[in-house]
Amino acid sequence: MSLRTDIYLGRALERMTTSKQQDGENRDKGRVSLARPVRLRYRRFQEFLQEASANISIGGMFIATEEPHEPGSQFDFELSLEDGFSLVKGRAEVVWIRAETAGLSQPAGMGVRFLHLEGASRKLIAKVVEKYRRKGREPFELGRSAKARIAAARAMTDSGSLVPGSEAVLGVDSRGAGAAAGKSEMAQRLRRFAGLALVAVVAGLFIVLGFHNLYVRPRIDELERRLEDLSARGVQPGATGVDTSDDSLVEPGDQLETDGNEMAALEPLERVEQWARSWSDQRVDDYLAFYSAAFQPDAGMSREEWEAMRRARILRHSGIRVQILLAEETKLGADESQVEFTQSYHSENYDDRVKKTLRLVREEGVWKIAEERVARALPD
């Protein structure tokens, strides 16, 4: 029977699937203790970057969990997206553990070092770490928090909560733990303060959500009803003059078959509508052709890696429908423009709404996407 345990990496709530420990030949390996595998999933690649950047390095990573493995145990792990696209995969060994949470910045968990990384995992980690360094931040290191771990371990030993066998890993002599008793009261006060701060934050969120439900959401619903009425009458949201909901207007392949003069005559808003239509029709080559040669993917990914990921994602799903709502254009120059809009995405097994911004540049008379940014996810 498999167990499911909630674990955290940074702030993201994920699932750790566990299975029975291997026996037989694995037990004959002596010192090596094989633990249950760890699976971490993220909704989007950007979420992986935000949550993993501060907790991963070339040599290892920190996994926050209330049930850490024993020090010295080894386990297989995989970090992937919800659609099954694997990001980082390999085997790791537990170096140290923090048995209990010691504040918001020190959650319970385990520091692990990589024993083996599969495929392009090491290359992706290197890019994530380098981008994190360019922001002026220090990446995660297994040995950097030794002082903090020793102090926490002494406090836990004094309270009787230190996991047996962890003293050697943490570098703590439990016989000297009584010297930290004077600090435990301060730690308790800090925890109480952190608890009060968390309550205040939660209360503030409830107030914001209440305001949203009472005042903002009704206006959004009204706008959506009006947009549905316009769509029913054949008028496309954004007033671009192109109704992508009517198959008679845009057939698969029409975008690239349009002659140069007609493409040059299209305005940025019309090009964005065609981009969404090629996505909905799963015409991947047409979709990728909308992007400028100067387009740079996020997270240091190469253009080839990004195109391969987009092609796999678009072709993996069926029933895709992408709608552009409330589009607004801002001219940035004679050959540069910015379009902001709400993107509604639907497929057979996934739906979302995001606020998106596209920066377009004119290349040989044709508007193409030079930059793509997702501002925030919107409630359904």
Query: pLDDT tens for residues 133-145?
Result: 888 887 777 765 4
Least confident piece of the model among 18-22, 189-193, 291-295: 18-22
Among residues 166, 101, 317, 339, the alpha carbon closest in space to that of 239 is found at 339
**In the 8-state DSSP scheme, what is residue 298?**
G
Distance of CA 26 to the CA centre of its chain: 35
CA distances from 298 to 45, 81, 131, 202 (A): 9, 16, 10, 32
Q: What is the pLDDT of residue 368?
A: 96
Provide the pLDDT confidence category of residue 153 given band limits of 50, 70 and 90. very low
Q: What is the pLDDT of residue 191?
A: 87
Provide the pLDDT confidence category of residue 151 given band limits of 50, 70 and 90. low
Q: What is the pLDDT of residue 31?
A: 44
pLDDT of 27 strictly over 70: no
Among residues 362, 170, 357, the alpha carbon closest in space to that of 265 is found at 362
Cβ-Cβ contacts under 8 Å for 71 (sequence gap 6 or more): 94, 95, 96, 97, 165, 166, 168, 169
Mean pLDDT of 20-49: 63
Q: Report the alpha-carbon distance of residue 80 to residue 329 in Å, rounded.
A: 35
Q: Report the alpha-carbon distance of residue 63 to residue 118 in Å, rounded.
A: 19
Do 27 and 20 contact (CB within 8 A), yes or no? no
pLDDT of 249 strictly over 90: no
Do 264 and 315 contact (CB within 8 A), yes or no? no
Q: What is the pLDDT of residue 286?
A: 95
Provide the pLDDT confidence category of residue 40 given band limits of 50, 70 and 90. confident
Residue type, 186: M
Do 342 and 354 contact (CB within 8 A), yes or no? yes
Among residues 169, 177, 187, the alpha carbon closest in space to that of 105 is found at 187
Least confident piece of the model among 31-35, 238-242, 328-332: 238-242
Query: In which element (H, E) is residue 46 found?
Result: helix 45-52
Q: What is the pLDDT of residue 32?
A: 52
How many beta carbons lie within 10 A of that of residue 372, not counting itself? Answer: 15
Q: What is the pLDDT of residue 169?
A: 35
For the four alpha carbons of 221, 227, 231 and 236, in that order, the dihedral sign comes to negative
Instruction: Tell me the per-residue pLDDT of 177-233, one tens digit each, with 9 for 90 and over.
Output: 444 445 677 888 888 889 899 999 998 888 888 777 776 777 787 777 667 666 655
pTM of model > 0.85: no
Give the CATH number of domain 234-378.
Answer: 3.10.450.50
Do 221 and 212 contact (CB within 8 A), yes or no? no
First and final C-alpha spacing in the chain: 35
pLDDT of 7 strictly over 60: no
Do 295 and 360 contact (CB within 8 A), yes or no? no
Q: 342: helix, coil or strand?
A: strand
Q: 59: helix, coil or strand?
A: coil
Q: Report the alpha-carbon distance of residue 158 to residue 213 in Å, rounded.
A: 48
Tokens of 349: 């097994």
Q: What is the pLDDT of residue 330?
A: 94
**Residue predicted with more confidence, 21 or 329:** 329
Mean pLDDT of 117-125: 89
Among residues 70, 45, 39, 53, the alpha carbon closest in space to that of 11 is found at 53
Instruction: Tell me the per-residue pLDDT of 307-362, one tens digit each, with 9 for 90 and over.
Output: 999 999 999 989 999 999 999 999 999 999 999 999 999 998 889 999 999 999 99
Beta pairing class for 73-81 and 60-65: unpaired
Mean pLDDT of 22-35: 47
**In the 8-state DSSP scheme, what is residue 253?**
T
**Residue predicted with more confidence, 83 or 237:** 83
Among residues 137, 142, 134, the alpha carbon closest in space to that of 60 is found at 142
Average pLDDT value over all residues in the chain: 75
| Residues listed for the chain | 380
Would you kindly state where each structural domain of the chain is located, as residue ranges? Answer: 4-141, 234-378
Q: For 229, list phi and psi in degrees, rounded to 5.
A: -65, -45
**Residue predicted with more confidence, 173 or 361:** 361
Tokens of 96: 């140290």
